[in-house]
Amino acid sequence: MTMGSRQRILDSVRAATHADVNRYEDVPRGYIRAGSLDLQGCIQLMTERLHEYGADVVQCAPVDLPHIVLRQLKQSGRHHFVVPSGFPTDWMLSGVEWLIDQNLTHEEIEQCGGVATASSSGVADSGTIVLHHGPMEGRRVISLLPDFHLCILRVSQIVETLPEYFSRFPQAPRLATYISGPSATADIEMTRIKGVHGPRFLSVIILRDDA
């Protein structure tokens, strides 16, 4: 049905632009690309931004990770946690109920109080957690329905600026979710209310890369 329209639209567009010469390489790019903070500074800024929007942040060494994961989950007051199918088994100590996502139904995920995932990147400038939804981050639904999200972010994954993230990942991922705050609305009298849909509570473990 729309083949005719496709041609019409493209013809119309081409007629409007046939005389234009405008090259991609000529787009000026004078904005800040690389950050100026060192790694410590980045971690500090990331932590600050996460705190600003009410997320909980702890740092830990790799050897302590499973215990810290368990501790954070227990502290959330919830008991059932969904995890991606590729979530490392040694991160899953006993003490809470783990539900590994192997094609769980939405209802089953809905029953879980929380979710734990790894992440693909962190952008310190905006306190953004980036999920590319690979095996250790899981399907999008599991980090969407539960009310509490524990996210493990490696120090080596943290960049300062948004352009730095894009230079690390020049190819568009198939799926990506960028989390820069809890869900919020200001639609009623401009009063900011946290947590409309999506997890209301975010807890981040910044995992140091030291051995």
Going by C-alpha positions, the residue among 124, 125, 206, 132 that lies closest to residue 169 is: 132
Going by C-alpha positions, the residue among 119, 115, 113, 155 that lies closest to residue 137 is: 119
Pick out residues in 81-100 that bind other proteins (CB under 8 A).
none
Query: With binding defined as CB under 8 A, does residue 188 bind other proteins?
Result: yes
Q: SS3 for 165?
A: helix
Burial class (CB in 10 A: 0-12, 13-18, 19+), 21: exposed
**DSSP letters spanning 29-55:** --S--S----HHHHHHHHHHHHHHTT-
Q: Which of 66, 144, 154, 155 binds other proteins (CB under 8 A)?
A: 144
Query: With binding defined as CB under 8 A, does residue 32 bind other proteins?
Result: yes
Q: Which of 47, 78, 133, 148 binds other proteins (CB under 8 A)?
A: 133
Select 63 or 170, whichever has its Cβ closest to other proteins.
170
Pick out residues in 157-186 that bind other proteins (CB under 8 A).
162-163, 165-167, 170-186
Pick out residues in 48-87 that bind other proteins (CB under 8 A).
49, 53
Instruction: Give the separation between CA 33 and CA 175, rounded to whole angstroms.
Output: 24
Q: Tally Cβ neighbours within 10 Å of residue 96.
A: 19
Q: How far is the CB of 35 from other proteins (least distance, A)?
A: 12
Instruction: Give the separation between CA 30 and CA 164, rounded to whole angstroms.
Output: 14
Q: How far is the CB of 32 from other proteins (least distance, A)?
A: 4
Q: Which of 1, 40, 63, 90 binds other proteins (CB under 8 A)?
A: 1
Query: With binding defined as CB under 8 A, does residue 187 bind other proteins?
Result: yes
- Considering only the stretches 37-45, 72-80, 111-119, 193-201, report the one whose residues sit in contact with other proteins under the rule CB under 8 A: 193-201
